[in-house]
Chains A and B, each alone.
Chain A
Amino acid sequence: MTKTSGAARVIAIASLAGLAAQPALAQTAVTQWDQFAAAGITAAGPAMDELIDTCEPSLDGATILRTVAPSIGIRDSYRLAVSADKTPDLAYTWPAASVLAGYARIGALAPLEDYYEQYGWDGINEFYRGRNSYQGSIYGVPMEQDLMGVYYNPALFEEHGVDVPTSYEEFQAAVDTFKEAGIVPIAFGNRDRWPATNTLSLILGLTAGLETEEEVLFGDEPWTNADFQSAAETFQSWAEDGYFPTGFNGIGYDEANALFLAGRAAMTITGTWVLQDMARGASFDLGVFMLPPIDEDAEPGTMWGEGSQWQVAAIASDDTKDAAAAYIDCLISPESREVWVEKGYLVPIGTTPEELEQWDALPIVKSFYTQGLATADTNFYDLHTTLPESVTQVLYAELQRLISGDTDADEFLTAMQASWEQSIENGERWIP
């Protein structure tokens, strides 16, 4: 018997035991929309298939009817479904924070605190509970632990005598070394518009820090503050100083990753959501490090978020909601988390570095999460999964202009502040 099938059996038994007191769920079908494909972002399709097979028998007769939607497009599909009053019973979609709060505001989502209490989902910390809450109720079960880091090519580093940077100055020196050697320092493509928001989020957190971010996101501090100004200027200077390949606004995210994986760039700054593609595509031993603080007063940390979250439709019947909750409980059990890690390259929230050491995870996965979770107290926000969509659309466009030099940090932040004020006036801001 394989290790995984053993884990599957434990999940089934544990789930059956947990459901002993449940009402009969026979004849209940839970429609599920998720984004777990076989490749690309969130490439955990095989793990999802396996876990449905494992969890379904423990649902007291309830069945899961699965639909896979593209990871980016699932937001659009879900919005249409909600507007047509056809919200799927259970969806694994993104983002949380403002967008999830928007659905909660219009009554499209079922509150889940009773299930949190019933099943004891304590592995989900206050930060993530907050990101999935609206006006004191919790509406999502975040699962995927996303972290941002710097993937690097150790062979190129060694060839050019560069050590893994431990300070921002060393990082800049490493970039200069690769530039002089004619190697693209950081593979970066922003044709898809969203990658730059991740990069800015990282720079922002390592310049302004978590506390200042929260003063802006939840308080009255304007976007035009000095720390945000410094972060915007830093990002623009990276673009102007040749940190990225020429024409980065015309290069796709996947193309940039391919550039790195082909050994034509020394680093790429992105997240754990492409771990599978990175691990599978690299022809060299892959390394990862956390970008050191940029501002001398900033704490070490990285951008983190929940990637996506499970959310249950308000229009689902009580039996369906119960079945969905039981199913979620199975999906986030310790045994299932092991399957997500080993088969899906997806590390669920609550997974510890110690667990990763014991499980059959790739070295790059262990390294990424050990480093990223070591700074849990100072890790900071991902802008485009935190801001209201109306602000995100302005951020996408204005960031392209900022890094291409078509605008400056002042104008960029002024545009962001204007959009931010408008969203607050419209009641779109999320506050945990």
Chain B
Amino acid sequence: MLTTRAAYLFILPALTLYLVFVGLPILQVIGFSLFDWDNGAMGEFIGLANYRRMLGDQVFWTALWHNGLWVLLTLAFPLIAGLVLAAILAERNQRLVQWLGAIYFIPRTIPLVVAGIIWGWIYNPIFGLMNYGLETIGLGGLAGAWMAQESTALLSLNVVGAWTFFGFCVVIYLAAIQSIDPSFYEAAEIDGASWWRRFKDLTVPLLRGSSLFLGLYAAIEAMRFFDLVWVTTQGGPGYATEVLTTHIYKTFFLVGDFGYAATLSVVLLIIVLSISAGAFAILREP
């Protein structure tokens, strides 16, 4: 049996690496946020001035709202659609399930940068497939500059995000459904329960753990994503698709205000850690 000391010795290498490559940089960023910076040069200690500035920064609040909205949209579409589709697929033969599961999963394997480029072409106002398709089926009046209008830009981007996340939800749900004891469904069928009743009263409650995992995973990813926005809209038009990560990027790389960028990063870290802590607590509940 391992002693406590031996256990600590075993985790020491990983812990050391974690502290050096994660812990110290985080402390460094927190430290940066307390100083004034000018074009990459550290200036005087300014305490919490950058945090006070953030409270009055409208772009920050807009970006935070967009991140929050992204979480809600992700929970509303890919998760629910993935759950329903997985429930339908689960009743089909195994070979079909494997094929379709693999097909649905393909978008997940595509890097978001590539997905952004692909969908940038689809949405393109000049030669985009979306407008062409609408015109082909006689709905040309609905054609638009999807990612170039404040009213549609974020939603259009979220469709891309949903496209890449949806397949992942299907695969996770499928695996979870297949682990449910079939006798529950057999008993429900004998009792005359409809598909909808079986889905609502059996599948959904029994997949609570998977739903929580996917929901929290989606929430954390929604706070961190950057590449998709950067390659498609760079946060525009205006601030319509600005998210925290693009605001941080611009503040750091383009404006050179490392202190304020560090402040925004610290706040983002706190948000993500809070969600993660919540997720950890919820998932540990029996």
Contacts and interface: CB of A to CB of B under 8 A. Distances in A.
Interface of A: 75-76, 79-80, 82-84, 102-103, 105-108, 191-193, 245-251, 255, 259, 389-390, 392-393, 396-398, 400-401, 404, 406-407
Interface in B241-274: 242, 250, 253-258
Main secondary structure of the interface of B (DSSP, over half): loop
Contacts of B178: none
A107 B236 CA distance: 34
Contacts, number: 104
15 contacts: A76-B253, A83-B40, A83-B258, A106-B40, A247-B126, A249-B145, A249-B237, A250-B123, A250-B148, A251-B148, A255-B124, A255-B126, A390-B257, A397-B242, A404-B150
A400 B242 CA distance: 13
Given A80-B253, A406-B238, 15 more contacts: A83-B41, A102-B38, A108-B39, A191-B148, A246-B125, A247-B144, A247-B149, A248-B145, A249-B145, A250-B148, A251-B125, A393-B254, A397-B238, A398-B238, A401-B237
A143 to B, nearest CB: 22
B218 interface: no
Contact of A390 (B146, B234, B239, B255): B255
A255 B121 CA distance: 11
B235 interface: yes
B254 A250 contact: no
Interface of B: 38-41, 123-126, 144-150, 233-239, 242, 250, 253-258
A79 B126 contact: no
B39 A249 contact: no
A107 B41 CA distance: 9
Q: Which 5 A-B pairs have the closest CB atoms?
A: A247-B125, A247-B145, A83-B40, A250-B148, A249-B148
A249 B236 contact: yes
A194 to B, nearest CB: 10
Nearest to A103: B39
Contacts of B237: 249-250, 400-401, 404, 406
A251 B126 contact: yes
Contacts of B144: 247
A246 B124 CA distance: 10
Contacts of B38: 102, 105-106
Contacts of B147: 191, 250
A107 B237 CA distance: 36
A400 B253 contact: no
Nearest to A250: B148
Contacts of A406: 150, 237-238
Contacts of A105: 38-39
B116 to A, nearest CB: 12
Given A250-B147, A393-B254, A401-B150, A245 B41 contact: no
A384 to B, nearest CB: 11
